[in-house]
């Protein structure tokens, strides 16, 4: 049973690591240290492998739990009998089920992480439409929707931001702003403060 418990731990560890690049921006928001948001973005290329390992580990753990008694060795059956005399919650199917659900929640984190970010969009009073500028900022380091939300959250803290739309898929943020209240330099600084890096700018 110790081997099964080790599988539990391995499955949780790989599930957590697989989503660490997207968990970190949320933790950075909570801690108020946005600069660490991109600390684990380097893990993103390994995410498919970590997800695969998690699935394999948990599948094997379930196999160990559900394998028919007929194909177990006598030693394994004797061990199981001893366990049944002293049942432990950490060795139960219920516990394995909880671990599996938690692992799934962790693996799916990038798809719902944006809900942890408050809505910082503001209503801006536009005096002169000629003052409204739209700029595209190319950004490196974003890997999921959590990264997008982190960038938008920081940019929207600036006065004069009308709309901010970051996209990790496109590697950019298209930002509409009132040039009398903020400027490209301030916006670029806000983005860089998240730990992601502005690599280029162009009119949109």
CA 87 vs CA 78, 91, 92: distances in Å: 14, 8, 8
User: Which pLDDT score, from 0 to 100, does residue 130 have?
Assistant: 86
CA 146 vs CA 18, 40, 132, 154, 167: distances in Å: 14, 12, 28, 12, 10
Instruction: Tell me the C-alpha distance between 149 and 20, whole Å.
Output: 16
Q: For the chain, what is the mean pLDDT? A: 78
User: Which pLDDT score, from 0 to 100, does residue 201 have?
Assistant: 92
Q: Please give the DSSP secondary-structure letter assigned to residue 43.
A: G
- pLDDT, tens digit, 9 for 90 and up, residues 5-62: 676 677 778 877 777 777 777 666 666 666 666 666 777 777 788 888 888 888 888 8
Residue owning tokens 């739209």? 134
Instruction: Note the pTM of the prediction, 2 decimals.
Output: 0.63
Q: Vertex 47, ends 41 and 53: CA angle to 5°?
A: 145
Q: Are the C-beta atoms of residues 61 and 8 closer than 8 Å to each other? A: yes
Q: Is the CATH number of domain 117-203 3.30.70.100?
A: yes
Model confidence at 195, pLDDT cuts 50, 70, 90, reads: confident
Higher pLDDT, 25 or 137: 137
- Greatest mean pLDDT among 8-17, 66-75, 85-94, 175-184 lies in 175-184
| DSSP per-residue letters across 154-180 | HHTTSTTEEEEEEETTTTEEEEEEETT
């Amino acid at each position: 049973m110790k081997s099964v418990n080790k599988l539990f731990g391995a499955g949780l560890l790989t599930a957590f690591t697989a989503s660490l690049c997207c968990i970190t921006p949320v933790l950075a928001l909570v801690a108020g240290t946005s600069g660490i948001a991109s600390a684990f973005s380097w893990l993103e290329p390994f995410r498919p492998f970590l997800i695969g390992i998690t699935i394999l580990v948990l599948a094997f753990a379930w196999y160990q739990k559900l394998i028919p008694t007929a194909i177990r060795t006598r030693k394994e059956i004797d061990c199981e009998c001893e366990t049944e005399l002293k049942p432990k919650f950490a060795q139960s199917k219920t516990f394995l089920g909880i671990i599996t659900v938690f692992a799934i929640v962790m693996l799916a984190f990038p798809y719902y992480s944006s809900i942890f970010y408050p809505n910082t969009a503001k209503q801006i009073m536009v005096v002169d439409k000629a003052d409204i500028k739209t700029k595209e900022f190319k950004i490196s380091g974003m890997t999921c929707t959590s990264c997008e939300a982190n960038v938008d959250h920081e940019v929207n803290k600036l006065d004069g931001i009308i709309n901010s739309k970051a996209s990790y898929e496109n590697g950019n943020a298209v930002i509409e702003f009132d040039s009398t209240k903020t400027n490209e330099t301030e916006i670029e600084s806000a983005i860089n403060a998240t730990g992601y890096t502005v690599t280029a700018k162009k009119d949109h």
